[in-house]
Structure 1
Amino acid sequence: MTACGSGPQQQTKEYTGTVKPAGITSYQYGTHRLETATENFALKSDSIDLTRYEQKQVTLTATSIEGYPIDGGPAYLNVISIKE
């Protein structure tokens, strides 16, 4: 049960890896991807231009987007903040 009638809380988490353009994928979601040492994530952001961070090692804060992964793709993250 949530307090004050609010919806589910989006939990933020930090991820570290290299930002790459999404390119052609079988899963068709995300504008970019984050490659970490152990897994890949599809990325999008409503407030940050992810193209500025392409090919750079970053630590980003993001929330998981509900309903993903689909079509055998990776988890889908909404990036809230990013630092090099």
Structure 2
Amino acid sequence: MYTLNANEAKTKFGAMLMKVQSEPVEIIKNGSPVAVVVSLDEYNKIEQLKMELVKSRFENIDESDLVDGKTFREELNAGKYD
């Protein structure tokens, strides 16, 4: 992955936009990674994969997997899904 510091990303924004068409660009600020810039095409692919994952999780659901909203909130607040 190509890496730029935050100042370089700002001053070389046009070049960075060109670079993300071929690979993600990591942005470093104060020595720590803070962001990754990707092309719109790559972003759309990631979003599609996330949607496919969500859909696959619902394909195998049955009545025993369902809870009412109040129960879910209580379980969520209790840390069951952490």
Same fold (TM over 0.5): no
| Bucket of the pairwise TM-score, normalised by the shorter protein | under 0.3
Which of structures 1 and 2 has the larger relative contact order (alpha carbons within 8 angstroms, sep 6+)?
1
User: Normalized against structure 2, the TM-score is what?
Assistant: 0.20
Higher radius of gyration, 1 or 2: 2
User: Normalized against structure 1, the TM-score is what?
Assistant: 0.20
Name the structure with the higher strand share. 1
Name the structure with the higher helix share. 2
